[in-house]
Amino acid sequence: MHYIITEKGTTARRIAAILSGGKAKKTKVGKIDAYEFDDKVVIGLSGHVFRLDFPQSYNDWSKIDPSDLIDAQIIEVALKKDLVKALEKIARDADIVTIATDYDREGELIGVEALNVIKRVNPSIKVDRMRYSAITEQAIKESFAARTDVDYNLAASAKAREMIDLIWGAALTRFVSLAANRLGNGFFSVGRVQSPTLALLVDKEKEIGRFIPRKYWELHAKLRTESGETFTAVHERGKFWHLEEAEAIKKKIESAREGTVSDLKKRLRRDNPPTPFDTTSFIRAASSIGFTPRRAMNIAESLYLQGLISYHRTDNTTYPETLDLRALLGQLKTSPDFGEYAAMLLKKKQLKPTAGKKQTRDHPPIHPVAVTTEDKLDKDEWKIYELVVRRFMATLSDAAKWEDTGVKVEFGGELLEAKGHELKQPGFLAIYPYQKKEETKLPVLKVQDKVWLDDLELLEKETKPPNRLSQAGLIKKMEELGLGTKSTRHEIIGKLYERAYVQGNPSRPTEKAFAVIDTLEKYAAMMTKPDMTRALEQEMDWISEGRRKKEEVVEDSRAMLRAVFQEMEENRDEISKSLKEAVKADKIVGTCPECGANLFWATSKRRKRFIGCSGYPECTFSLPLPPSGRVIVTSDRCEKHPTIFKLKILSKGRGKSSRAWDFGCPYCNYLEWKEKSKDDKNN
């Protein structure tokens, strides 16, 4: 029997349908769903077969020194015992096993995990590998016909990352949490990639905090032509740093009233089409239409599994020569939404796609592989599918052409400037509206034309602090610094939110984040810098290339961690004091409306949560809180009770994800509940 092992059950069903021509019958391997046809059986895993952990003897945080975890044994724990039994059954029944998991590091490791179970029972079994970038009939049939070897080096690099992240994350998280006396749900999470990523946000917030705004003034004029058309212009100086100077120039212009066009220049500007989507640019584009990185990647995965787009985890920004662009456009030509534009592109004698700087051989850039319609997808799926389709066609389109006009008007010796931007040829913007800029049209003017001053306004402004990083911007920064991978960056950011280190978008770190990063920067600076993580990422690349062994790289990471621990052990008391002080600050909800002391959230001896006053027992002001979920104190104040901060409650959703509930002002909530209770009682 020939067994084909995929990463998920949905993939197994689709691949079986394709390879069997729709004739595959649903069956069972043990208790796991499978699909059988001819002499073949396709079975889907549920992601990883095993998770890594330490032996049970290391579970009690209070009894094990965190540094002991650095060299502790690492064991594999089966995630589904029924799945392991099914793999053992395959080992006894199979003549050949084909791994058909996603072709990337994680997918290769998942496939090897399954193979390790099979080979323990049947060491001599024949094994090969399908590699595909889309779940379409052509891609699946071609990859099945051209099966290749399993890439054990690639799997080893993923296994090394798992081991390193477990060792670093567990050891450091325990050390910091024990030092802060924060166990249970309130633990302080620290990680090899997570901590330097969080440091980026904390450092940015400190930069914003240090910023001192400076006032300046601008002169904005409304000008009128002889034909009565109006347009706006600003003084050529832009910013005036001294009010007296700006007021003097304003009077000078106003006294002139009439001006003359002294200079007029036009130029044609090309706006080049965007490059193909790699994962990072896809996430950034999805963010611009309202999707968080995690949500965008989840939807992309769904579209990939439905056979609508290519594999969504890729560093490639150059279409391979083997990708038949005309065939894809031929499919899109049948679409009621994109068919007209696809037909126009097909009329071009030669298709010259744009190309980015990155070219890899594992997967092509993200692109559509099949046609669907809006009614067949949910609202968010359609938005992401449409984004991918429009981006693909934009990369095959002509540049947009703009006419930029610059006009200078002289009033009493002072120059006012006006700028116009008019789209002359839409090019790719006809299909890709996501980056279209607004046009600014000026009246038809020529040098020496007279214009008149209708209005002149002196606007007071001030310089703005640096912008916070959006989630998409943070992913871009992580990529630049070598933090994480295309597959993990969005997950790391998700964890920062789940662990109450970050809130909002753009991302704003909480007091808890400041506490951890400030402490690490003082006593374990290596953990907040990208250098160490970048070096380990490079070594993991070398594992995949066969230049280093997994065991060597894991041992290198252990040596780095020992150095970190030595520094932290020497400063254990200072770390503990720093974190405990920060824990108190993290619980402050505002100031008491009755006595002015700090309000804080706490848990009573009966495990009931509440907001109390630090002026107790003299002040007995208190407010109730929901019984479950992680409390996050935001930086937004209540409009009715400005001394109190609004709250969010973070609770576990389905699976591993968390949901943030905007609880708002706890005092407003209490008063509303009290009023409702009174009404219910009266009724």
| Residues contacting residue 515 through CB under 8 Å, at least 6 positions apart | 180, 188, 578, 579, 581, 582, 583, 585, 586
Q: Which residue has the tokens 């220049």?
A: 265
What is the rounded CA–CA span in Å between residue 263 and residue 449? 10
Residue 43 pairs with which residues in a beta bridge? 5, 34
Token pair belonging to 377: 């997808």
CA dihedral (170, 171, 176, 179) positive or negative:
positive
Name the active-site residue from 35, 103, 304, 311: 311
Q: What DSSP string runs through 554-565?
A: HHHHHHHHHHHH
Angle, in degrees to the nearest 10, between helices 325-332 and 379-395: 130
Q: What DSSP string runs through 99-112?
A: EES-SSHHHHHHHH
Q: What DSSP string runs through 391-422?
A: HHHHHTSPPEEEEEEEEEEEETTEEEEEEEEE
Residue type, position 207, single letter: E
Angle, in degrees to the nearest 10, between helices 489-498 and 293-305: 130
How far is CA 468 from its chain centroid? 15
What is the rounded CA–CA span in Å between residue 293 and residue 314? 15
Identify the DSSP state of 222: E
Residue 632 pairs with which residues in a beta bridge? 648
What is the rounded CA–CA span in Å between residue 636 and residue 489? 28
Residue 304: active-site member: no
- The 3-class secondary structure across 268-323, one letter per residue, is EEEECCCCCECHHHHHHHHHHCCCCHHHHHHHHHHHHHCCCECCCCCCCCCCCCCC
How far is CA 370 from its chain centroid? 26
Which residues are known to be catalytic?
A: 311
